[in-house]
Amino acid sequence: MFKSCVAVLVAALCGLTAPANAAEGEPFVIKFAHVVADDTPKGKGALLFQKLVHERLAGKVKVEVYPNSTLVGDADEMQALLDGRVQMLAPSLSKFGKYTRKLQVFDLPFLFDDQDAVQRFQKREMSRELLRSMADSGIYGLDYWNNGLKQLSATQALRTPDDAAGLAFRIQPSAVLEAQFEAVGAKPVVLPFAEVYSALKKGEVQGAENPWSNIASQNMHTVQPFITESNHGVLNYMLVTSSKFWMSMPFAVRSELEGIVLEVTQAVNKEAAALNQRDRDRILASGSSKLITLTPEQRQAWREKMMPVWQRYEADIGADVIRAALTVNRKH
């Protein structure tokens, strides 16, 4: 009896520590899926990760990159991670609402002065804790990857908040983003990223919010004649894996991978602003969209209309998290 219990226990423990992708001597396969194009901050980050892993861990770990929602998309990528169908993702911070509300601090409109402030926050203790905020669901946050600040694109010029009233805007699945558009009398419509271009083209929605790199790489500017440089919110990512998969690898392999993640994070976060600037220039040079630059008074009007959202979501996100985020703005 005792012997069989020990056998069961050993088998169970072995099961816990055995490689998820198993066969002895075979490399661990990391399927890294994402929804954007290769030539974007996240797309380039995924490819650099693949390259460095190939250089340093050949035979032990193999990375396969699936861009543009080709393997899994917004609707099922998190479940795919938990089911072991993919091993790495970098969803926008707006897409984790089902697992934690705390990350929606990044969605609060006009919270951060600029992307440098966001970057400072991502290095603070609070953000490091947020990487572990989904541990109970088996999601393991590795680091934050930058994209950029969001701009408002539309079929008509958006200068004042009233200009947005009555228009349908595509949003990511976030209660905060929904409230943000409702605050200006617009109609938020949740759609997966892969469907945004076609929804804009068909006129199912009239506007969207994205950093320049996403607008350009999906050709959204060709169906959005006006882009307001609002910089009203953040679109950054959390690089995630599943705790089960990550812990199934030997410590030495994990450590090497964590070193690579750090290196790639630094590269992505250094290059993201330049890529967005390049894509801003390309869009404006194409002449397809008119740039709307807000006066300080106009920007303040958007801010005032949208800011009540902070208070509405304070209890969900946590006042401590919001306070910690605010401290990174120089003026506070």
Q: Provide the binding-site residues for ligand LMR, judged by CB under 6 A.
A: 35-36, 92, 147, 172, 193, 210, 214, 235
**Closer residue to ligand LMR (CB): 87 or 218:** 218
Could you give the CA distance from residue 112 to residue 173 in angstroms, rounded to a whole number?
21
To ligand LMR, the closest distance from the beta carbon of 11 in angstroms equals 40
To ligand LMR, the closest distance from the beta carbon of 312 in angstroms equals 22
If one counts every other C-beta atom within 10 angstroms of the C-beta of residue 257, the result is: 25
**CB-nearest residue to ligand LMR:** 92
Q: What is the CA radius of gyration of the chain?
A: 21
* 241 DSSP β-pair partners: 140
To ligand LMR, the closest distance from the beta carbon of 100 in angstroms equals 17
- SS3 for 89-107 is ECCEHHHCCCCCCHHHHHH
- First-to-last alpha carbon distance for the chain, in angstroms, is 66
If one counts every other C-beta atom within 10 angstroms of the C-beta of residue 88, the result is: 24
**Closer residue to ligand LMR (CB): 211 or 318:** 211
To ligand LMR, the closest distance from the beta carbon of 172 in angstroms equals 5
To ligand LMR, the closest distance from the beta carbon of 167 in angstroms equals 17
Token pair recorded at residue 5: 């219990």
- 81, 297 in Cβ contact below 8 A? no
**Closer residue to ligand LMR (CB): 57 or 71:** 71
To ligand LMR, the closest distance from the beta carbon of 43 in angstroms equals 9
**Closer residue to ligand LMR (CB): 50 or 213:** 213
**Closer residue to ligand LMR (CB): 192 or 248:** 192
Burial class (CB in 10 A: 0-12, 13-18, 19+), 251: exposed
Token pair recorded at residue 303: 């801010």
**Closer residue to ligand LMR (CB): 149 or 324:** 149
